[in-house]
Structure 1
Amino acid sequence: MSRVLVIESSARKEGSVSRQLTRDFIAQWQAAHPADEITVRDLAVEQVPHLDADLLGGWMKPADQHSDSEAAALQRSNLLTEELLAADVLVLAAPMYNFGIPSTLKSWLDHVLRAGVTFKYTENGPQGLLSGKRAFVLTSRGGIYAGGPLDHQEPYLRQAMAFIGIHDVTFIHAEGLNMGAEYAEKGMSKARAQLAAVA
């Protein structure tokens, strides 16, 4: 049995293409791997605060020096990190907002990219500690950006995953969604075909 952690980051709770891709992924994954355990964390429902002084204090100060807010921030970071550490498969649902990822997803990454926990510094530079995990990134985009200079999602998320040791990363892009019905249909058809193949 594998554990699958799904991170939803769309601000839209209805009519979200990335959420539809996630639903399709989960349905197909469950059909192919019925014994697997799937956990969904919805960042629009349970919002993760931005990196702030409380979180930095929680990480860096001894426990007996924590303020109440620093202790709460550390507890939140521990919860999110423990979910990631326990997962065998990570699924990130990431609509494109202004050429990048949603700020909610960036906040989640800021809580789980932790020195000494998900990566460590060595004399040869940073080393990821989460080797052996797989990741799937499901994106939705109004235009067509994959492989182009305005795609700041895939390079960033590949780097973030590699930084913590996850090198087996598959991107599935639903693109052209705001370019008219023909482009949108092609974009969704391509994404769904890729989803069916990976599950």
Structure 2
Amino acid sequence: MSNTLILKSSILGNYSQSNQIIDQVVEGKTNVTVRDLAADPIPVLTMEIATALRGSTDDLTSELKQIVQLSDELIAELQNADQVVIAAPMYNFTIPTQLKNYFDLIARAGVTFKYTDTGPVGLIENTKVVVLTTRGGVHKDTPRDSMHAYLQTILGFMGMTDVEFVYAEALNMGDEPAQQSRTTALDTLGALV
């Protein structure tokens, strides 16, 4: 039985198209862990946090120790997952800040990747990733879709190279195109998860 980790990142809560689609797909499924990065935000990376994530926790403040512990917890969830489903709505042509904060806290040398003589090597392997991205307009396969390349890069950097994208676009371009796009995304995501 496989374990699925769901990462939600929309600030819209129950009004979020990405949250609604994912909730429908995983309804009734077992072995699913849901991490809502907007409802339970990840701290923004600072020099102090970056330093704490790289070293000993012996002489850290209690706040920094909690952040390192959160990073360890997030990484353990990821390592335990056979499949990761990321809800990544497009905000201003990129991923939500909440999702970026998550990646900043889990991208740790020696833990999720390592440096070698030939370059970095990801340490999170054999994990299938499905990205559901929702957009008000149509951006797929255009220069405006910078989030696709970023997500491929950051996930691959940590070893997750089996990545599929599911698009729900035109959500603010009228009822008919929006409904058609939501239905297609729901069917596609349902077949993958």
TM over 0.5: yes
Q: Residues of 2 paired with 1:138 and 1:128: CA distance?
A: 22
Deviation of 1:27 after TM superposition, in Å, equals 2.8
Residue 111 (1) aligns with residue 78 (2): no
Counterpart in the other structure of 1:22: 22
Provide, for residues 110-135 of structure 1, a one-character-per-residue CA deviation record: whole Å limited to 9, x for no partner.
11111101110000100011111101
Equivalent AA in structure 1 for residue 83 of structure 2? V
Q: 1:43: how far off?
A: 1.1
SS state at 1:135 partner: strand
Structure 1, residues 79-117: CA drift from partner, whole Å, max 9, x if none? 111111111111111111000100000000111111101
Match for residue 33 of structure 1? none
1: CA distance, partners of 2:57 / 2:105? 18
Match of 1:183 among 154, 157, 177: 177
Q: 2-side partners of 1:177 and 1:190: how far apart? A: 12
Question: How high is the TM-score relative to the length of structure 1?
Answer: 0.91
C-alpha contact (below 8 Å) 1:54/1:69 kept by paired residues: no
Shift of 1:189: 2.3
* Partners of 1:99 and 1:150 within 8 A in 2: yes
- Using structure 2 for the length normalisation, give the TM-score: 0.94
Partner of 1:40: 34
Equivalent residue number for residue 196 of structure 1: 190
Q: Is the 8 A contact 2:132 2:165 kept in 1?
A: yes
Q: Specify the alignment match of 1:82 in structure 2.
A: 76
**Structure 1: any 5+ residue segments left out of the alignment?**
31-35
What letter matches 1:55 in structure 2?
I
1:3 paired residue number = 3
Give the Cα–Cα distance (whole angstroms) in 2 for the partners of residues 194 and 69 of structure 1: 42
Letter in 1 for 2:26: I
Q: Contact 2:14/2:20 (CA < 8 Å) preserved in 1?
A: no
| Local SS of the residue matching 1:72 | helix
Q: Report the CA distance between 1:64 and its aligned residue.
A: 2.3
Structure 2 equivalent of residue 142 of structure 1: 136
Q: Which runs of 5+ in 2 are unaligned?
A: none
**Partners of 2:124 and 2:159 within 8 A in 1:** yes
Provide the C-alpha distance between the structure 2 equivalents of 1:81 and 1:197, rounded to a whole number of angstroms: 26
Report if the CA contact (8 A) 2:84-2:129 is conserved.
yes
Q: List structure 1 runs of 4+ shifted beyond 6 angstroms.
A: none
CA RMSD of aligned residues (A): 1.4
Identity score, percent: 39
In the other structure, the counterpart of 1:129 is 123
